Amino acid sequence: MKKKATIISIVIVTILVIGIYLFLCIGYILYPIRYKDSIITYSQEYDVEKSLVASVINAESSFNTKAVSSKGAIGLMQLMPTTAKWLAEKLNIEYKEEYLFEADYNIKLGTYYLAYLENKFNDTTVVLCAYNAGEGVVQNWLNNKDYSKDGKTIDVIPYSQTKAYTQKVIKGLEIYEKKLK
C-alpha cells in the first residue's frame, strides 16, 4: 500500500511540474517581450504605461517588425503610413515609410500616438478603440447614445474586431506589468 501511495505522489508531482512548465511556455508564447529598452524609453518619454505599449505591440503584431496588415498598417505597432507621417511631423523627425519596419522608430511613433490619444480621450478603452478603429469613428461612437451614455466612455463597442482587440490588450496589461518590472 505504501508503494502505491509513493507512486501516486510521484505521478502527481510530475503532472504538477509539467503543468507549471507548460503554463510558463504558453505565457511566453502568448505574451512575448522584445524591444524592452525602447518600450521603457518611449513610455517614460511620453508618459504612457509601458505595459500598455507592450500589450498593444503584442496585439498588433506579436512583436514582428515586418508585420503588414491587409489594410496597410506597418510594423510592431501597426501604424498606417498616413498616421505615421503625421506623427513624425508632430515630433519634427524625418519620415520614410521604410522606417516603420525599424523597431525603435515604430515604437517611438506608436507610443507618442498612444499619449496623444490618452490626452484626447482620457479612458483606456476609448484610447484602444481609437487606436484600432480610428479617432473619427470613436468620436462618432461617443456622440451616439446607443454606444456612450456620457460621451466620454464607451458602453458598447459596435465593431466586433475592435471589441476583441480591446479585450486582448486589456488582458495583456497585467501580464506585461509583471514582465516589465
| 122-163 per-position pLDDT tens digit | 999 999 999 999 999 999 999 999 999 999 999 999 999 999
pLDDT band at 30 (very low <50, low <70, confident <90, very high): confident
Based on the residue annotation, tell me whether 98 is a catalytic residue of this protein.
no
Cα–Cα distance measured from residue 90 to residue 67, given in angstroms and rounded to the nearest whole number: 24
pLDDT digits (tens, 9 = 90+) for 128-138: 999 999 999 99
Of 43, 139, 51, 122, residue with least CA distance to 130: 139
User: What DSSP line would sit under 24-73, residue for residue?
Assistant: HHHHHHHS----HHHHHHHHHHTT--HHHHHHHHHHHHTT-TT-B-TT--
- Could you report the per-residue pLDDT of 45-89, keeping only the tens digit for each? 999 999 999 999 999 999 999 999 999 999 999 999 999 999 999
CA distances from 88 to 81, 97, 119, 172 (A): 10, 11, 18, 27
Q: Which of 45, 60, 98, 174 is catalytic?
A: 60
